[in-house]
Structure 1
Amino acid sequence: MWTLAVLFCHDIPETIDHVLLACPVTSRWWFAMVSGLQVQPDSTVMSLLQQVFELHDSSLEALCVSVLWVIWEARNRCVFQGVEPRVDDLVTRLKLMAAPPRTTASVRQRILPATWHRPEQDIIKMNFDGSWKEDREAGFGCVARNDQGLVMAAATTFPIDAPSPLIAEALAFRWTLSLASDLFFMEIALETDCLQLFDAWNKPLHGASYFISILRDCKDLVSRFNSFSLSFVRRSGNTVADHLAKNSSKYPNYVWIEEVPPDCIRLVDSDVTAAMTT
């Protein structure tokens, strides 16, 4: 029977701890999906969970359990269907698992519907997203729309060096804020489908990691605007930005004013239609 250990690291027979933590391939996945968590070579699943739960961080607890499940799903698809996992697919799966609303009131109030909806009058809503590959190559996309659903601008940039998907999302956040300032959008509402970024933004920015330093840059940029908000939206409400980010290599470092590229027109129209019915 095929095992993940044989298929990917060609090292030792499969065990739970090796598949979920110790396999060099799995270790790279952990680095890509969980920023700042140190997974030691001799860690077991139980010792990792004990380490995480001792931090008393419910968001990190949920994230780590989700990563374990995503890796186990990938293992089963590989063994039973012959599908070789890719890290960007795993990150996408992790985002989808994080998308349903959580139970705490403070987060629930900021979770948005599953479709795009119009901002308040005189507010420019900017949806943004980052894409990432294992070679550290990232691309960003964003779209800005007014309270009528009309496109004010769209943009992409590629390639950007980013060590992990979370860093790519944070860099896309900073890039979107800079773009908004350059376009003189003074009252903005930003939306991301990265729950980990959204949660981090709403916590004190302690530490000196690269991720935290990017968020501090964003805090400085926010002071340029008359009004600002960041909300979490499900992937289905962020389709235009997601499409632009994933296709940013086709349009590197491009800005559209009051339009989007042709392959996005259908997605924009679908958003407006959905907004009219909600």
Structure 2
Amino acid sequence: MATLIMTCWAIWKARNDMVWKQLQPSVDRVLSISQSCLHQWLEAQKYFHPSQMFQRGVAYQERWTKPHDGMMKINVDVSVHATENRFGFGCVARDSNGLFLEALCGRRRGKVSAVLGEALSIKEALSWIQRKDWANVIVESDCLVVVHAIQHQVQMFSPLGLIISDCCSFLSSLKNVSIFFVKRSANQVAHFLATAPEFTTDCILNQEHLPALCNSLLLADLA
């Protein structure tokens, strides 16, 4: 049944490519895409399944919390603007007292899915950690699928799979850096930075350059 459904999906995708992109993939190409996607899906099921992600008894963090002494925390989020062919990401670093350290905002051209955008934002955060030579860091994202894929080092032959692989490589080279899932309510500052219209280019923000609303969100996390 899974093979049949994936083959139908590949045919439907090929039809859309012919109508909207004037592409004419061969039968072999359609079958290859179908088999590759099916393989990725089956591999992913070995590590997690959507029905298990929100099982009863699993309590995901709903409010931002301070990391333990000697640790720092970086929250990351993405905003995808498909109609404008762009996406933005935001990262915010805080110490074990919950005090703001630094923020990173970025804007990119390109049409990406929400999940791929989340993976790219996490990769940007890990690259930022590497450039700063930070250690003992907790990274938090509100994209459960990407977090699980990185935690379990899921291998996928796709653009998303390549970004997941890059994130895993970063984690293996960094000093005591781990990634966890939190709910959107515990990720408000990063979400603001990813969506704020005043940030139109890549930038590093210190305390003096933070918008008033961002400061309010930081204080609310400490309440």
Give the TM interval when normalised to the shorter protein. 0.7 to 0.9
Aligned partner of 1:134 among 82, 89, 92:
82
TM-superposed CA distance for 1:199, in Å, is: 1.9
Aligned counterparts of 1:112 and 1:183: Cα–Cα separation in 2: 29
Show the counterpart of 1:102. 55
**Equivalent AA in structure 2 for residue 219 of structure 1:** C
Is the partner of 1:189 in helix, strand or coil?
strand
Query: Residues 248 and 199 of structure 1: is their aligned pair in 2 closer, same or farther, counting only changes over 3 Å?
Result: farther
Distance 1:258 1:226, change over 3 A: farther
1:201 partnered with 2:150: yes
Paired with 1:145 and 1:39, the residues of 2 have a C-alpha distance of: 45
Q: Which amino acid counterpart does residue 75 of structure 2 have in structure 1?
A: N
The residue that corresponds to 2:221 in the other structure is 271
The CA distance in 2 between the partners of 1:266 and 1:246, in whole Å, is 16
- Asked if 1:155 corresponds to 2:104, the answer is yes
- Same amino acid, percent of matched pairs: 26
Q: Deviations over 1:33-69 (max 9, x none)?
A: xxxx947539xxxxxxxx9xx9593955549xxxxxx
More strand by share: 2
TM-score scaled to structure 1, two decimals?
0.60
User: 1:184 & 1:263 partners in 2: Cα distance?
Assistant: 29
Stretches of structure 2 lacking an aligned partner (at least 5 in a row): 1-7, 14-37
Alpha carbons 2:153, 2:164 under 8 Å: kept: no
Of 177, 183, 186 in structure 1, the residue corresponding to residue 132 of structure 2 is: 183
**RMSD of aligned C-alpha atoms?**
2.8
Q: Does 1:239 align with 2:197?
A: no
Aligned partners of 1:139 and 1:158 also within 8 Å: yes
Point out which structure has higher relative CO (alpha carbons under 8 A, 6+ apart).
2
Deviations 1:126-156 (A, max 9, x none): 0000110223411000100011010111111
Change (3 A) 1:171 1:270: same
2:72 to 95, 117, 124: 124
CA 1:138–1:182: 2 relative to 1, 3 Å: same
